[in-house]
Amino acid sequence: MTDVRSVVIGVDIGTTSTKAVAFTSSGLVVARHAVAYPLTEPLPGFAEQDPDEIVAAVVAAVAAVASRCGGAVRALSFSSAMHSVLGLDPDGSPVTAVVTWADRRASAQAAQLRTLGGLQLHRRTGTPVHPMAPLAKIAWFGQERPELAATVRHWVGIKDYVLSQVAGVLVTDHSLASGTGLMDIYRLQWDDEAMHLAGITADRLPTLVPTTTVLSGLRAGYAERMGLPGSTAVVVGAGDGPLANLGLGAVRPFVAACSIGTSAALRVMVDRPGVDAGGRGFCYALTERRWVVGGAVNNGGAVLQWAADALAPELGTGREVELLRLAASVPPGCGGLIMLPYLLGERAPHWDTAATGAYVGLTRDHRRPHLVRAALEGVCQQLALVLQSVKDGGHEVHELRATGGFARSALWRQILADVVGMPVGFTADHEGSSFGAALLGMQAVGLVESVDIAADLVQVDETVVPDPASQATYATLRPVFEALYEALTPTWVAQQTLAPTLPLTYPT
């Protein structure tokens, strides 16, 4: 630690864990620690978390990292998964669980909102009218739990709640607000029509602040538990998606960032807000002068996990690795087999909760390796559709930088490069959103002049280039892949009415 005078801890509040990582202003990782917590599904379509369990995880993760920094912590800066919402009573205590991005309970409300000028609302707020959005979720509470909704003084995101506890201030940043469906991205103010549709007024939402806002410090009890001085700067921070671009160094023109974890996303940074004409993508803020456009898909690594559970349960621990080895034994295109990977419905570019997975082109010659490889190809084809929507919105993309659990597979890395048809760079371990949060914090407290430094700090360790023959195969298949969505849409609509009457298992 003798060469480190000051560090910033990036705190990334994720869907399954909170990760705290301490960085120097040159990007050196000093210490890291993660604390996991569950995502519960008490009812079909629900995906909730305990807000106080997450606060405890934040405190524990920061304390573990701070104890290894020798008193050199200059600031904490926060990242958070987007689209969460919870209700607080007048005392600031939770009266609901954290309703996460994965929660689909508000499907009916989203469908209703789409008939009430949904595309215009999408263009104005940057957020698709979809069950993931707090706009639809708050409307659900108002319609389905009106007595509970009446007790809510403030509707907030999980990071807002964490900051209210550790720093004593209830605010939300422009980045996370741009993912609620409730903020006008051009005026950076709560949108009157959106609030009316949600059944709330501006006084029931947190105060909007820039992502680089520095709060006054830590509350005494939390400072003690974290092992930090109460005067430690607390930077409000931003959403994990925009910060992932920053953490990958994808801040210059023509460079997009892609992440494939449980879900997946593709984003490019731009200098002004705007949504493509067809409403296929999102637009979220990073700072007042930097935005990201792109799209997230529900089905990333979750598809490989499903394949492991459904197609290879006998392989035991580590079966995903064995399935990837098997998938590499069959050629691109899988002999004409295509998988639509909509196991969890889909977000970009269709924003369709009714969509379900499908294999098309299955013959008696296909075996387990074909089924697995087609699943990986389907995930990448969906991301290629997101990339095309970005391009159609007027944004050129010449290079992709990627991160996530999928990067451990050489096969999946190559499939992604072949499908998108451009080089894909894989960076050194800069912890994605944690590093992005730390960089934003460094700018906020004056340790760096600008987050633009990310382009120089983040180095690409490996670049995977497309194989021309494979690229041509996937380009030929993509119109078929895209047309299958349109062709199957009536089937999915019909299935929605039938599925509830068809149980998955025999009753016990």
Confidence category of residue 430, pLDDT binned at 50, 70, 90: low
In a domain, 290, yes or no: yes
In a domain, 507, yes or no: no
Q: Is the pLDDT of residue 1 over 50?
A: no
In this structure, are strands 233-239 and 255-260 parallel, antiparallel, or unpaired?
unpaired
Question: Do residues 94 and 155 share a domain?
Answer: yes
Q: Decide: pTM greater than 0.95.
A: no
In a domain, 2, yes or no: no
CB atoms closer than 10 angstroms to residue 306: 16
The pair of structure tokens assigned to 187 is 């005026």
Question: Do residues 473 and 451 share a domain?
Answer: no
Question: Do residues 403 and 314 share a domain?
Answer: no
- At residue 5, the pLDDT reads 67
Per the structure, the count of domains in the chain is 3
Q: What is the DSSP track for 112-141?
A: HHHTTTHHHHHHHHSS-SSTTSHHHHHHHH
**Mean pLDDT, range 319-334, rounded to an integer:** 96
Burial 215-254 (b: 16+ CB within 10 A, else e): bebbbeebbebbbbeeebbbbbbbbbbbbbbbbbbbbeee
Q: Is the pLDDT of residue 324 over 60?
A: yes
**Mean pLDDT, range 216-223, rounded to an integer:** 95
CATH of residue 128's domain is 3.30.420.40
Question: Do residues 261 and 201 share a domain?
Answer: no
In a domain, 64, yes or no: yes
Show the domain range for 271: 249-296+394-464
- At residue 2, the pLDDT reads 35
Return the minimum-mean-pLDDT range out of 19-33, 385-399, 421-435.
Answer: 421-435
Question: Do residues 255 and 311 share a domain?
Answer: no
Confidence category of residue 317, pLDDT binned at 50, 70, 90: confident
**Mean pLDDT, range 237-265, rounded to an integer:** 92
**Mean pLDDT, range 385-406, rounded to an integer:** 93
CB atoms closer than 10 angstroms to residue 395: 20
The pair of structure tokens assigned to 44 is 């079909």
The pair of structure tokens assigned to 382 is 């969906």
**Mean pLDDT, range 314-324, rounded to an integer:** 91
Contact 156, 223 (CB under 8 A): no
In a domain, 485, yes or no: yes
**Mean pLDDT, range 313-338, rounded to an integer:** 94
Across the chain, mean pLDDT equals: 94
In a domain, 417, yes or no: yes
Each residue's pLDDT tens digit, 66-123 = 999 988 999 999 999 999 999 999 999 999 999 999 999 999 999 999 999 899 999 9
Neighbouring residues of 498: CB distance < 8 A, sequence distance ≥ 6: none
- At residue 505, the pLDDT reads 81
Q: What percent of the chain has pLDDT over 70?
A: 98
Question: Do residues 308 and 440 share a domain?
Answer: no
Q: Is the pLDDT of residue 3 over 60?
A: no
Question: Do residues 58 and 193 share a domain?
Answer: yes
- At residue 4, the pLDDT reads 55
In a domain, 506, yes or no: no
Question: Do residues 193 and 83 share a domain?
Answer: yes
Each residue's pLDDT tens digit, 160-171 = 999 999 999 999
Question: Do residues 159 and 68 share a domain?
Answer: yes
Question: Do residues 265 and 330 share a domain?
Answer: no
In a domain, 508, yes or no: no
Question: Do residues 317 and 291 share a domain?
Answer: no
In this structure, are strands 282-287 and 290-297 parallel, antiparallel, or unpaired?
antiparallel
Domain boundary among 218, 241, 264: 241
Question: Do residues 329 and 416 share a domain?
Answer: no
Q: How far apart are CA 332 and CA 470, in angstroms?
A: 6
